[in-house]
Amino acid sequence: MDKLTIRDIDVAGKTVLVRVDFNVPRDKDTGEITDDNRVVAALPTINYLLDHNPKAVVLFSHLGKIKKEEDKAKNDMAVVAPKLAELLGRDVKFVNATRGAELEEAVKNAENGQVILVQNTRYEAGETKNDPELGAYWASLGDVFVEDAFGSVHRAHASTVGIAAHLPAVAGFLVEKEIAYIGKAVSDPERPLVAILGGSKVSSKIGVIENLLNKADKVMICGAMAYTFFKAQGLEVGKSKCEPDFVDYAKGLLEKANGKIILPVDVVTVTVSDEDCAADFFGAISKAETRVASVNDIKPEEQGLDCGPKTIALFAKELEGAKTVVWNGPAGVFEVEKFAVGTKAICETLANLKGATTIIGGGDSAAAAISMGYEKKFTHISTGGGASLEYLEGKALPGVTCLSDVK
């Protein structure tokens, strides 16, 4: 990486501002944290800084979406402070403010590496607009800025980009690791490079498909987005998710792919009424009888929800010998166990690939792999869904480009 990292700076006696990603999932009824992976991912950077005698480590993060005033109460960063203190094994001072005397005094009076967690950055309306005044204000609190929120580096916000305009700005270990793994996978991979792209929409992954078709040796398409490709081949897709506006685009991709695109050959279908789906989609498909259908035998009343056994075998065979695999997007509706078979099979195949670098590009595929117990079986699981996608597209990430260059 051609950017400076925390190894390149002296933080002794300094106030270090760190953008972390503590946008953790919480129980909608109790508000308790249900998955602390993002907090855990920040620990190497925080602990490294603490080991190098800073005056203070001041942590900034957003939590949830703040669209109206009442959203603030349910996205209060206070919920993270005790979890962080527990994981660090030391006191964390939570400041219930994003600006003003309370925050300024906490930073001014900090000593001996005090860890300070600032209230949700999105409490400030100027955060998502990258308000120059807000970025300058936050920067005035510290001496150096560390970017370690990979899940947010694709956004040009005041806390990800604005602070960096006023201070020496370097990458933390998480950002460095993400850029190293994903960057190498798309720019200098050990070959064969195989991309697995799933999820629901072709439209959300156009850039990724285009970029990876140029770079990968094979691109395997699965999940709901496969049905748009089936439609492009003139096949019946029934009530399966399909994007009619992107059928011609998918047809064009198939024509120029030179056989690189590998599609499912069979799928698991159900027949459920539109009314039942609208009322309770997961409940309706959970109760429905399933049928394994060849992709050229989907009935008009059916919808496909997972890969079939022949596809699982095909994908496993196509992955044999791969040296780099990048996966983004599940193979089916993995939230319902009987439609998680395809996604689990991909996890299992990748977990047993010998001598391969296996990377999950965040999002639902990462959530699926972790929930199924495969977290330790991959070379790297990205913490940033949107950031990973944009990086896989070949786009510049604002929260990285703003960092100080290696000279």
- Looking at residue 187, what is its pLDDT? 84
**Most confident listed range (21-35, 95-109, 377-391):** 95-109
- Looking at residue 206, what is its pLDDT? 87
Q: Which residue, of 178, 210, 244, is where some domain finishes?
A: 178
Cite the DSSP H helix spans in 233-328: 247-256, 274-287, 309-319
Q: Do residues 84 and 117 make contact, with C-beta atoms less than 8 angstroms apart? A: yes
Catalytic residue among 64, 126, 207, 386: 386
Catalytic residue among 113, 135, 362, 363: 363
Q: What proportions of the chain, in percent to the nearest 5, are helix, strand and coil?
A: 45, 15, 40
| Phi and psi at residue 253, to the nearest 5° | -65, -45
Query: Residue 29: pLDDT band by 50, 70, 90 thresholds?
Result: confident
Average pLDDT over residues 143-172: 96
Catalytic: 151? Answer: no
- Looking at residue 31, what is its pLDDT? 84
Helix (H, G, I), strand (E, B) or coil at 390: helix
Catalytic residue among 14, 19, 38, 239: 38
Q: Are residues 199 and 173 in the same domain?
A: no
Q: Could you give the strand order of the β-sheet that contains 357-360, starting from the edge strand earlier in sequence? A: 261-262, 218-221, 193-197, 324-328, 357-360, 380-381
Q: Are residues 220 and 284 in the same domain?
A: yes
Catalytic: 201? Answer: yes
Q: Assess whether pLDDT exceeds 80 at residue 76.
A: yes
Structural domain harbouring 50: 6-178
Q: Are residues 348 and 322 in the same domain?
A: yes
Q: Are residues 223 and 150 in the same domain?
A: no
- Looking at residue 205, what is its pLDDT? 87
Q: Are residues 193 and 114 in the same domain?
A: no
Question: What is the value of pTM for the model shown?
Answer: 0.85
Percent above pLDDT 70 for the chain: 100
Strands 324-328, 56-60: pairing is: unpaired
- Mean residue pLDDT of the chain comes to 94
Number of Cβ within a 10 Å radius of residue 280? 11
- Looking at residue 27, what is its pLDDT? 85
197-254 per-position pLDDT tens digit: 998 888 888 888 988 998 899 999 999 999 999 999 999 999 999 999 999 999 999 9
- Looking at residue 216, what is its pLDDT? 92
Query: Residue 344: pLDDT band by 50, 70, 90 thresholds?
Result: very high
Helix (H, G, I), strand (E, B) or coil at 46: helix
Q: Are residues 53 and 156 in the same domain?
A: yes
351-370 per-position pLDDT tens digit: 999 999 999 987 788 888 88
Catalytic: 386? Answer: yes
Q: Are residues 173 and 194 in the same domain?
A: no
Catalytic: 363? Answer: yes
Catalytic residue among 184, 201, 241, 291: 201
Q: Which residue, of 154, 178, 202, is where some domain finishes?
A: 178
264-310 per-position pLDDT tens digit: 999 999 999 999 999 999 999 999 999 999 999 999 999 999 999 99
Task: Report the C-alpha gap between 169 and 5 in whole angstroms.
Answer: 8
Q: Assess whether pLDDT exceeds 80 at residue 385.
A: no
- Looking at residue 246, what is its pLDDT? 96
Its sign, for the CA torsion 52, 60, 38, 177, is negative
Q: Assess whether pLDDT exceeds 90 at residue 390.
A: no
Task: Report the C-alpha gap between 242 and 240 in whole angstroms.
Answer: 6
Q: Do residues 137 and 167 make contact, with C-beta atoms less than 8 angstroms apart? A: no
Specify if 184 maps to a domain.
no
CATH of the domain at 314: 3.40.50.1260
Q: Assess whether pLDDT exceeds 80 at residue 327.
A: yes
